[in-house]
Structure 1
Amino acid sequence: MKTLEAVSQPLGHLATPQPAPSTSLELMAYRLDIQARAQAWADMDEPVLRRRATEAARDMDVEALWSLTEANLLLNGLSGAKVSHHTIRAYRKGLDVFLGYAQQVGLQLLRPRPNHGVAYARWLEAQGYNTSTVRVRLAAARKLFAALRWAGATDATPFADVRPAPDPVPRTEKRKPYSETEVEELVRAGDLEEKVILLLGAHAGLRVSEIAGLQRVDVHLDGEHPYLMVTGKHQKRQGVPLSRTLAKALSLWLSATPDLGPRVLSAGSVDYVQGRVKAVCERTGVPYSRRQVHGLRHSAGTRIYSDTSDLLAVRDHLRHADITSSEIYVEYARKTKAPAVKSW
C-alpha cells in the first residue's frame, strides 16, 4: 500500500499552475499520473482512509488535502478519468484560497460552523472577485468537503446551499465581442501566429484553452470544406468549419513552422495565447479589458447570428450543449444595430 507521503509528494508543482498537456503522449502521462495518485487513496482500507483524511484536515495539510480532493474528483466526479486539466487547475487554486481563508479565521475543517460557508462567499466578494470566480472558488471548497465526507472524516456540508450574490453587471457587458472592424484591425496588425490565434477565436469561435491546445493532426485543410477537430468541454470532440481567411493563415503558419512539433502554436499555454492577444490589442489601441480572448469567441457567435438570424447555426458553430447558451448572441447582435429611432 502506498503511504500518504507517496501520494502527496508529486503534487507540489500544482501550487503554480502548469501548462496543459500539449501532446497525446503528455496527456496520457498526465492522466496516468493523476490516476496513480487516486488509486493510492482507493487502495486504502476504510479506517486508514478516514484516519489519513482526518489528520490532513486537522493539520491543514494543503498537499494531502489536495491529493484527497483530486482523488475524489477522479473516482467519483461526473467526468471520471477525463476530468480536464483546466478543471484540476481551477479547483487546486480554489482550494489554496479557501485554506488560506480557513487558517485566517480559525475555521476547523472537521467541525465548521453552519455559517462558515456563506461567510466565505461574502469574504470572496469583498476581495473583489467577480461572480463567476466566486462561483468557481465555492465549487472548489464544496469539492474539498465532498472528499472529506467520502473519506469518512466528517459529515459537514457547509457549502450545500451557498451561492454567490447576484451579479449587478448585465451579461452583455461581460466579455463583449470585438466588432468586425476591430477584428480586422487586429488581424492586420498581428504577425502570422497572432493572425492564427485571433482568427481561431473570431472565426472558428474557439475558447482560449482550445486555441492553446490545438494539435496539428487536428487541422484538416484538404478537401472542399476545411475544418478543425476540437477537444472542448468535458473532452468532447467536434468538428469546426474554417473560414477561407483562417484556412489560408493556418496553411501559411504550418508551412512556415515545421519544427514546432505536434502543436499548432509556439507554446501550448493559455497564458501564452492571452499574452499574444493582449499585445496586439495594446499595439492597435483596441480595448482588451473585460473582453480578453473570450471576446473573440463572442465575435464569432455575434457575426453568425447577424449574418443568418439562425440561433441553431450559432449553437452548432460554438458547440453549445444547450441552445439557451446561444441566446446571448441575439442580444449582442441587436446592440450592433442602429437605434430604431435614429432616422426619425
Structure 2
Amino acid sequence: MTLVPYQGDLLAITREWTALHDDELRRRAVKAAGEKDIPALLSLTTAYLAHQGGSGVLTSPKTVRAYQLGARQFVEYATAHAISLLRPGRHDAQTYINHLLAAGRAPAGVQLKVAAAGCLYRALRWAGATDADPFRDVKIPKDPTSGLIKRPPYAEDEIADVLDHADVQAKFLLFLLAHAGLRISEALSLEWSDLDERTRRIHVRQGKGRKDRRIAMSTSLARATRQYRALYAPGGTEHTDGKRRTESSHVFRYSNYTTARFHLRKAFTAAGVAFRGFHPGRKYAGTRLLQQIKDFGRVAAHLGHASVDTTRKGYAQLAADDLKDDLAGW
C-alpha cells in the first residue's frame, strides 16, 4: 500500500470528511480503522491536521508528508503485530516506541513518528471512532548528544572547494545556504524581488511557521547575487550561452528538493566532498556567525529560529576556550 498523494488542496481533502454527517463520519472512520485501510486513514489524518491542526489549511506540504509517512508506518506495524487500532492494548504504544529504538532510530526521529501516530489517534477521536489515546503517557529517551556533533556543519574548506566546482545555480544556492543561512525551502521559494544586493538584504517570505524576515547578505553573497541576476533574471534577451532567459519570477529554475539535491550533490562530487544534505550548510552559517559576533539571539534571528535554544542545541556552538581572551587580564 502507498501514501495518499498530496495534491496541495488541503481544504478539499478536509471537506471530504467534514461534509459528512457525524454518524457517517464515525462509520467511515471505524471501518477504516477496523480494516486498517491505509489510504482512508491517511486521508482522515490529513483532514484532521488541516481542520484542527495549529496551522490548519496552511500546513506545509512537507509537514503533511511527514505525518502521512509516520501514520502509515504505525498502521503497518499495527497490521504486522495484530494490534487493534480502535482498542489498542495498554503496552502497545510503548512497545512500538521500543521497537523503533531497538531498530536503531534516533530518539529525535522516534519523536516525529510518535507525533504522527498521535495525530492519527486524534483524528480517530475527532471522528468519534474511538476514545483511545495510547501515546498520551509514553516515554521517549532524550538524546544527550548535541545536534552539531551528530550532524556537523560543512567545514570552511569544504564550502570553498564546492564553490570552485559548482555551476552558477548550484554555487548561488550554496551561498544562500551557507552565508544567508536559509532553509532549502526558503531558498527555492525566493523571487527576484526578494533579493536586494544594493542594500545587501534578503526578504524571506513565509519561512518556517509562516514568518517573514529580512536578513543581511555577506559581501560575497551580494556579489554572487549581482552576477546571478545578470545571467538569469527576466528582462534580458539571451544568456551568455545563447539560451533564452525564462520569464519566471522565481530565482531558481528548479523548485523541488529532488532536483536541487541532484545539482548540489553533483557539485560536491566534483569537488570530492561528501554531500550530507542541505542543513550542514545552514549550520555552517550559524556556527561561523556565532564565532564572529558571540550573540545567540542575533544568530537565531538570522537563521529564523523562534527559540534561541534551537540555535544553541543544533546550529551554533562556541568553542570551549572561547572566554580565554576575556579572562586573560583577570
- TM interval, shorter chain, is 0.7 to 0.9
Match of 2:264 in 1: 277
Report deviation, 1:138: 1.0
TM-score by length of 1: 0.83
Distance 1:303 1:331, change over 3 A: closer
The SS at the match of 2:152 is coil
The yes-or-no answer on 1:89 pairing with 2:65 is yes
User: Is the deviation greater in 179-188 or in 277-286?
Assistant: 277-286
Instruction: Provide the C-alpha distance between the structure 1 equivalents of 2:220 and 2:303, rounded to a whole number of angstroms.
Output: 18
Q: Distance in 1 between matches of 2:259 and 2:219?
A: 25
1:41-190 paired onto structure 2 within 5 Å = 41-167=17-143, 169-190=145-166
Contact 2:70 2:114 (8 Å CA) reproduced: yes
Find the partner of 2:204 among 229, 246, 268. 229
AA in 2 matched with 1:49:
L
- Cα displacement string for residues 43-95 of structure 1 (whole angstroms, at most 9, x for unaligned residues): 21111111110011011111111111111111111111211111001011112
List runs of 5+ in structure 1 lacking aligned partners.
1-10, 15-28
The answer as to whether partners of 1:201 and 1:297 remain within 8 angstroms in 2 is yes
Equivalent in 318, 322, 330 of residue 307 of structure 2: 322
Q: Return 262-271 or 200-209, whichever deviates more.
A: 262-271
Mapped partners of 2:303, 2:106: distance in 1? 24
CA offset at residue 252 of structure 1? 2.6
Query: What's the offset of the Cα at 1:163?
Result: 3.8
Number of the residue aligned with 1:311: 296
Residue 276 of structure 1: CA displacement? 3.0
- Separation of aligned partners in 2, 1:334 and 1:231: 33
C-alpha contact 2:154 2:281 (8 A) present in aligned 1: yes
1:288 aligns with 2:275: yes
Name stretches of at least 5 consecutive residues in structure 2 with no aligned partner: 233-244, 326-330
Change (3 A) 1:330 1:102: closer
Conserved? CA contact 1:74–1:81, under 8 Å: yes
Kept in 2, the 8 Å contact 1:74–1:80? The answer is yes
Deviation of the 1:267 alpha carbon: 1.6
Matched with 2:5 is 13
2:270 and 2:153 map into 1 onto residues whose CA distance is 19
The offset of 1:145, in angstroms, is 0.3
| 1:191 equivalent in alignment to 2:167 | yes
Amino acid corresponding to residue 256 of structure 1 in structure 2: L
User: Deviation per CA, 1:159-189, whole angstroms, max 9, x where unpaired?
Assistant: 1122433325433312211222322222122
8 Å Cα contact 1:69/1:147 also seen in 2: yes
- Give the aligned residue type for 1:61: D
With over 3 angstroms needed to count, the CA separation of the structure-2 counterparts of 1:307 and 1:96, relative to structure 1, is: same
Amino acid aligned to 2:257: V
Deviation per CA, 1:180-230: give whole Å up to 9, x if none: 232222212211111111111110101122223x23245222542332324
Identity of aligned residues (%): 32
SS at match of 2:173: helix
Distance 1:234 1:338, change over 3 A: closer
Give 1:330 shift.
8.8
In structure 2, what is the Cα distance between the partners aligned to 1:324 and 1:251? 35
Match of 1:19 in 2: none
SS of 1:54's partner is helix
Q: Distance in 1 between matches of 2:257 and 2:88?
A: 36
| Equivalent-residue separation in structure 1 for 2:66 and 2:201 (angstroms) | 33
Higher helix share: 1
- Tell me the amino acid that sits aligned with residue 303 of structure 1: R
